[in-house]
């Protein structure tokens, strides 16, 4: 090979390497071409702060898996995980990415739920009890997610909690108390006592994170989760107030002893 050919090949190789480096930097950095790239090491991956539990409303995990992997008739949906009745666990979306599981809704000040959460679909038709093997596997998964991603263990909510009136999953049969006994979610303290006369149950619901735009729907979601009943009444009952007082009492500042 002539010296000219060698030099030409060398220039070609250097040019190809330069193009590959540009593509690599562009693909990894995602920087704005309007700005000069001046990389800082002071950053990390965006982290979820919630786990949202759903039921599939389907008959089989395999059918739900197809729905979550395709552009179905109601529009594309997904979740980070799907948990079968027998405890089989599937991961569908990278935890660092947004899965399309929550839709419109709000929890406290969080309005873009998909960007702030991990979504878990649980294989259940909405009418049947959840098998113990499925809940045991869910507890293992929640322990892994909250430990590894730094999600507070109290921040486990249902789809209905963030979208009352639009969604009802995971429904009144979901064993929230069982989850709490394993260290996840929240549950009222039976020793909290009666709420004071001035206790405002609606403010307590808002303090927990519930949206109040549709009071009847919000109470239905709350009763599904904490009372295991289905009720369309928009009137706070005494049992609702007792539960809300027990749930929000830890949020109140500690009393300052008198001097």
- Mean pLDDT on 158-181: 97
Q: Write down the pLDDT at residue 37.
A: 82
Among 10-19, 57-66, 231-240, which is the least confidently predicted range? 10-19
Among 205, 128, 143, residue whose Cα is nearest residue 179: 143
Helix (H, G, I), strand (E, B) or coil at 118: strand
Closest CA to 79 of 62, 58, 60, 54: 54
Say if strands 89-91 and 81-83 run parallel, antiparallel, or are unpaired.
antiparallel
pTM over 0.75: yes
> What b/e string do you get for 212-250 counting C-beta neighbours within 10 Å, with b at 16 or more?
eeebebbbbbbbbbbbeeebeeeebeeebbbbbbbbbee
> Which residues of the chain does CATH 3.40.80.10 include?
50-181
pLDDT at 26 (0 to 100): 42
Q: Are 195 and 243 in contact (CB under 8 A)?
A: no
* CA 121 to mean position of chain CA atoms: 10
Give the pLDDT of residue 75: 76
Give catalytic residues, as residue numbers: 121
CATH code of 50-181, in short, is 3.40.80.10
Residue 22, CA distances (Å) to 10, 15, 206, 256 in order: 18, 11, 49, 61
Q: Please state, rounded to an integer, the average pLDDT across all residues of the chain.
A: 87
């Amino acid at each position: 090979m002539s010296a000219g050919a060698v030099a030409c090949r060398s220039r070609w190789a250097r040019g190809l390497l330069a193009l590959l480096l540009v593509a690599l930097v562009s693909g990894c950095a995602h920087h704005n071409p309007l700005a000069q790239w001046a990389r800082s090491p002071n950053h990390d991956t965006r982290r979820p702060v919630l786990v949202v539990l759903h039921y599939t409303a389907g008959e089989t995990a395999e059918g739900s898996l197809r729905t979550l992997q395709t552009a179905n008739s109601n529009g594309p949906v997904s979740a980070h995980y799907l948990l079968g009745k027998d405890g089989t666990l599937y991961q569908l979306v990278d935890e660092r990415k947004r899965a399309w599981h929550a839709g419109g809704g709000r929890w406290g000040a969080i309005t873009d739920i998909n960007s702030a959460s991990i979504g878990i679909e649980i294989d259940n038709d909405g009418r049947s009890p959840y098998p113990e093997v499925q809940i045991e596997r869910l507890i293992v998964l929640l322990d892994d997610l909250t430990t590894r991603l730094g999600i507070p263990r109290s921040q486990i909510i249902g789809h209905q909690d963030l979208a009352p009136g639009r969604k009802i999953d995971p429904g009144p049969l979901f064993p929230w108390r069982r989850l709490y006994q394993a260290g996840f979610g929240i549950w009222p303290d039976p020793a909290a006592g009666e709420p004071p006369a001035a206790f405002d149950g609606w403010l307590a619901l808002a303090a927990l994170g519930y949206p109040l735009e549709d009071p009847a729907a919000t109470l239905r979601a709350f009763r599904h989760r904490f009372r295991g009943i289905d009720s369309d009444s928009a009137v706070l009952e005494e049992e609702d107030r007792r539960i809300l007082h027990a749930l929000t009492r830890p949020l109140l500042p500690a009393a300052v002893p008198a001097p």
